[in-house]
Amino acid sequence: MTAHDINLSRRSLLAGAGALVIGVNLPRGAKAQSGAAQAFRPVGGAAAFAPNAFVRVAADDSITVLVKHIEFGQGPFTGLATLVAEEMDADWSQMRAEHSPADVKLYANLAFGVQGTGGSTAIANSWEQMRKAGATARAMLVQAAADAWKVPAAEITIEKGVMKHASGKQSGFGAFAEAASKLQAPADAPLKQAANYRLIGKEGVVKRLDSADKSRGKAQFAIDISAPNMLTVVVARPPRFGGKVGSFDASAALKVKGVVDVKEIGSGIAVFATGMWPAIKGREALKVTWDESAAEKRGSRELIAEYRALSRTPGKSAGKHGDAEAVLAKAEKVIEAEYVFPFLAHAPMEPLDGYLEWNAQGALARFGSQFQTTEHQTIATILGLPPEKVQLETMLAGGSFGRRAQVSQHLAAELAMCAKAIGPNRPVKLVWTREDDLAGGYYRPLFLHRMRGAVKDGKITAWSNSIVGQSFFLGTPFEAMTVKDGIDAVMVEGAAELPYEIADFACEVHVPKVGVPTLWWRSVGHTHTAYAVEAFVDELLQAAGQDPVAGRLAMMGKEPRLAGVLKAVAELAQWKGPDAGNGRMRGVAAVESFGSFVAQIAEVSLEGGEPKVHKVWCAVDCGVAVNPDIVRAQMEGGIGFGLGHALYGEITLDAGRPVQANFDTYRSLRIHEMPAVEVTIVTSTEKPTGVGEPGVPPIGPAVANALARLGQMRPRQLPMVGGTV
């Protein structure tokens, strides 16, 4: 399974979700202008020049980039603005960014065919599109200046947003914005040669566009929305997955000061109030009897036992070459390991929320929408409005990690159901509490990997992996498109094919039916496959007497880029073997995900019996690194996110009910647990690939491999600390 296949499967997935357009060209011309320009709300003065769907130039010289990808931390505002600014030779200080409206014709993710963010695709699918948008704008502004100055356009240069001619004439863009808007857009404005880049890939010249507001409490998230007459809504949902409302008594809830109404909706009982506190108190006062006849009542313990038994039976083949079983049967020594991965919540810092106002004329939804096209359709359908009368405004969101990329559309649906239940002309803001979030399902699925391997003469000779876990596509309308021959590609990505040459190899998969809603979680299948593969390969190499770095490299002949990051990280950390010589040990892991290559080395000691990760070295190859500092930030954040969950994260089900209720029990990494991180970016001229997810997969196994050298077993069941099953 290559990253390319993944993108394809996601594209067909989303295209099948009711989407309309596959293969979108850069929209140009008057039609495209009016659509986007209409929805565009100027930030710092009206835009005088809108050469295409993405670029707005105002008379005050500011350039606003309309960003089709949601900004929830990974930096698309800054990244996509960089691509435009580069081609326009703009000064960074004149750049602004805001979310584009929901419009699949203009703003589809070119990897999906619909508007949406995910799979670390923002930069990759915008790379050409946004540079072309910038180049077009540039050409038109230059032409407008050339016409006015009566000089050939080719003689005009631009430096830091100032157009100049040898005659001494010079001007900013703003002065020619109006004139440029009257010109025909050129069909193919040339793109810059990489050698002439001033921003792309350069250090220190680009700063994030959103840092200042976010450091001052000024950034606006969906939870911050208010409107006259607005009601805040919280929903009481069934305590077990698959439960539904039996009966309820709202009389006490309705007596709570500030509670305005209580309505049953598809997902539970909605409490409408004048603010969050009365809504919460009203919900506490509800008396609900749940019908749990169809609910999932198995707990994590039961599921793990079932998965364990399944893993010992033949599954569906996800990858095979040679005959691993035959080699294992004859091997002098078979090494076995079973790895168990718990359910995990995404727990974005801003819980799920959204705002909706509507009446018979139309609707406006405002929230951190990650799949705009399908969410837009869902809202329109539930409200019974034609889609063109429903506006969707994407808000900044306080993290996602996959949680807002909803295959089921459940948040958009619940928001629309709340708005519909209370009736028109009564704006609603739906807010999930942290307890709702952690008990709300859509977890990274529980997985079990049973590994068996053999080594001979210092080499790994056989590898067998049996994977058991839920598919979050099985049982959805997408099943036919993502699951082939019973194999859900995203369950086995990273495990069905290894970057290591091993003669006899088999990977099998079992997909039990479990009634717990699950979802992709930052780095998707790699959240478990990378740990299983990288911990087990390390264990086999150790048994074979090989160095973790040299041993991996010896098997990576066909993986030059992954080998490249492994060499780079070894050099950065001055690798001399696992023993750091200071009582600490070092573990290594290298993983390709989403087309990017990341290797990490973690230096670990034991303190009070718990792993303490002191330092992580990280090498990344993501093709052209458009914004090196954002690449570094994503590696740092990915390492912290991956480490926190490997060490502490788990959602346990007890008889079907989630046990962890809030951050007191769903332990999150804190500042004193964050290692120092040093990142090196491997220079590359390949097309850029994403960095939002690829920093996550290697850290767990890197720590496990260090623990093995500290005399511990590589943790067989996550989390490493304080697991409750």
644 is a contact residue toward ligand FES (CB under 6 A): no
Q: How far is the CB of 119 from other proteins (least distance, A)?
A: 18
96 is a contact residue toward other proteins (CB under 8 A): no
Beta carbons of 378 and 413 less than 8 angstroms apart = yes
Cα 529 from chain centroid (whole Å): 17
Tokens of 323: 């005959």
- What residue number has its CB nearest to ligand FES? 349
Contacts of 724 by beta carbon, 8 Å cutoff, 6+ apart: 650, 652, 659
93 is a contact residue toward other proteins (CB under 8 A): no
Q: How far is the CB of 521 from other proteins (least distance, A)?
A: 12
Q: How far is the CB of 349 from ligand FES (least distance, A)?
A: 4
Beta carbons of 288 and 243 less than 8 angstroms apart = no
Query: Alpha-carbon distance 469 to 444, whole Å?
Result: 10
605 is a contact residue toward other proteins (CB under 8 A): no
Query: Alpha-carbon distance 491 to 467, whole Å?
Result: 9
Beta carbons of 489 and 20 less than 8 angstroms apart = no
| Residues 389-428 as x/- pattern, contact with ligand FES by CB under 6 A | ----------x-----------------------------
| Among residues 637, 700, 715, 719, the one that binds other proteins under rule CB under 8 A | 637
Whichever of 300 and 627 has its CB closer to other proteins, that residue is 627
669 is a contact residue toward other proteins (CB under 8 A): yes
Residue 278: which of ligand FES, other proteins, none does it interact with, CB under 5 to 8 A by kind? Answer: other proteins
Q: How far is CA 232 from CA 273, 392, 541, in A?
A: 5, 19, 57
Query: Alpha-carbon distance 636 to 695, whole Å?
Result: 7
Query: Alpha-carbon distance 489 to 471, whole Å?
Result: 9
What φ, ψ does residue 46 adopt, rounded to 5°? -70, 145
212 is a contact residue toward ligand FES (CB under 6 A): no
Q: How far is the CB of 633 from ligand FES (least distance, A)?
A: 10
658 is a contact residue toward ligand FES (CB under 6 A): no
The helix/strand/coil state of 175 is: helix
What φ, ψ does residue 127 adopt, rounded to 5°? -50, -55
| Among residues 24, 397, 491, 563, the one that binds other proteins under rule CB under 8 A | 397
Beta carbons of 528 and 518 less than 8 angstroms apart = no
Residue 12: which of other proteins, ligand FES, none does it interact with, CB under 5 to 8 A by kind? Answer: none
Number of CB atoms found within 10 A of residue 609's CB: 7
677 is a contact residue toward other proteins (CB under 8 A): yes
Whichever of 67 and 158 has its CB closer to ligand FES, that residue is 67
Query: Alpha-carbon distance 363 to 425, whole Å?
Result: 10
Q: Which amino acid is at 305?
A: A
77 is a contact residue toward other proteins (CB under 8 A): no
CA-based nearest residue to 523, from 653, 635, 369: 635
Q: Which amino acid is at 244?
A: K
276 is a contact residue toward other proteins (CB under 8 A): yes
Q: State which of positions 341-370 bind ligand FES (CB under 6 A).
A: 349
Bridge partners (DSSP) of residue 268 are 265
CA-based nearest residue to 522, from 664, 644, 671, 440: 644
Residue 260: which of other proteins, ligand FES, none does it interact with, CB under 5 to 8 A by kind? Answer: none
Tokens of 84: 């435009």
DSSP H or E stretch at residue 362:
strand 362-367
Query: Alpha-carbon distance 140 to 56, whole Å?
Result: 12
Residue 677: which of other proteins, ligand FES, none does it interact with, CB under 5 to 8 A by kind? Answer: other proteins
Query: Alpha-carbon distance 533 to 449, whole Å?
Result: 9
Query: CA 392, 395, 400: angle at the middle one, nearest 5?
Result: 110
| Residues 499-528 as x/- pattern, contact with other proteins by CB under 8 A | ------------------------------
715 is a contact residue toward ligand FES (CB under 6 A): no
Tokens of 646: 């490997």
| Among residues 27, 76, 172, 644, the one that binds other proteins under rule CB under 8 A | 644
680 is a contact residue toward other proteins (CB under 8 A): no
| Among residues 27, 73, 688, 694, the one that binds ligand FES under rule CB under 6 A | 73
Query: Alpha-carbon distance 338 to 449, whole Å?
Result: 6
Q: How far is the CB of 221 from other proteins (least distance, A)?
A: 6
550 is a contact residue toward ligand FES (CB under 6 A): no
Cα 564 from chain centroid (whole Å): 25
Q: How far is the CB of 350 from ligand FES (least distance, A)?
A: 8
Query: Alpha-carbon distance 512 to 160, whole Å?
Result: 58
Segment near other proteins (CB under 8 A); pick from 206-214, 298-306, 481-489, 649-657: 206-214
Number of CB atoms found within 10 A of residue 190's CB: 11
Q: How far is the CB of 442 from ligand FES (least distance, A)?
A: 19
Query: Alpha-carbon distance 294 to 242, whole Å?
Result: 6
Q: Which amino acid is at 377?
A: Q
| Among residues 412, 540, 569, 639, the one that binds other proteins under rule CB under 8 A | 639
CA-based nearest residue to 519, from 609, 599, 642, 411: 411
Segment near other proteins (CB under 8 A); pick from 304-312, 349-357, 592-600, 604-612: 349-357
| Among residues 31, 214, 330, 558, the one that binds other proteins under rule CB under 8 A | 214
Residue 20: which of other proteins, ligand FES, none does it interact with, CB under 5 to 8 A by kind? Answer: none
Q: How far is the CB of 673 from ligand FES (least distance, A)?
A: 15
638 is a contact residue toward ligand FES (CB under 6 A): no
434 is a contact residue toward other proteins (CB under 8 A): yes
DSSP H or E stretch at residue 375:
helix 372-383
Q: How far is the CB of 668 from other proteins (least distance, A)?
A: 5
| Among residues 275, 424, 475, 577, the one that binds other proteins under rule CB under 8 A | 275
Query: Alpha-carbon distance 533 to 341, whole Å?
Result: 13
Whichever of 140 and 669 has its CB closer to ligand FES, that residue is 669
Query: Alpha-carbon distance 510 to 470, whole Å?
Result: 8
Whichever of 166 and 671 has its CB closer to other proteins, that residue is 671
Please tell me the count of residues contacting other proteins according to CB under 8 A: 65
Residue 350: which of other proteins, ligand FES, none does it interact with, CB under 5 to 8 A by kind? Answer: other proteins
Q: How far is the CB of 157 from other proteins (least distance, A)?
A: 30
79 is a contact residue toward ligand FES (CB under 6 A): no
- Which residues of the shown chain bind other proteins in the complex (CB under 8 A)? 72-75, 207-208, 210-221, 223-224, 226, 232, 257-258, 274-278, 281, 347-351, 396-399, 401, 431, 433-434, 629-630, 633, 636-641, 643-644, 662-664, 668-672, 674, 676-677
What is the binding site for ligand FES (CB under 6 A)? 73, 349, 399
